[in-house]
């Protein structure tokens, strides 16, 4: 099992709406994530900086790199784009975070 961590950033005033939309995550999106080998996926918020910190576990044979090609993923990005910093294709601006310590 591989762990992946990254950060994203919300736009000011969007915390409540971001949380609401994730509380109501679309079942077909959750299915696509699980099918791609993504599990134990959490997102935390630093309210002071509006930085989102995400961590997820990836199965050894994961296909998470193929998620951006899925229509449901692009639809979710479009849905979330007004709330956060995004790239030209509405994918969230993500900065990978290297692991420097882990206590198992």
- 3-state per-residue secondary structure call for the chain: CEEEEEEEEECCCCHHHHHHHHHCCCHHHHHHHHHCCEEEEEEEEECCCCEEEEEEEECCCCCHHHHHHCHHHHHHHHHHHHHECECCCCCECCEEECCCCCCC
Residue 22 annotated to the active site: yes
Please pick, among 22, 31, 62, 79, the residue that the annotation labels catalytic: 22
Q: What residues act catalytically? A: 22
């Amino acid at each position: 099992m591989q762990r992946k961590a990254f950060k994203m950033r919300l736009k000011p005033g969007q915390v409540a709406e971001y949380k609401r939309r994730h509380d109501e995550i679309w079942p077909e999106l959750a299915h696509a994530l699980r099918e791609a080998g993504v599990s134990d996926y959490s997102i935390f918020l630093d309210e002071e900086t509006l930085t989102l910190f995400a961590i997820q576990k990836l199965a050894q044979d994961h296909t998470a790199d193929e998620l951006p090609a899925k229509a449901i993923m692009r639809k979710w990005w479009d849905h979330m784009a007004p709330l956060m910093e995004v790239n030209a294709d509405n994918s969230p601006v993500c900065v990978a975070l290297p692991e420097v310590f882990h206590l198992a």
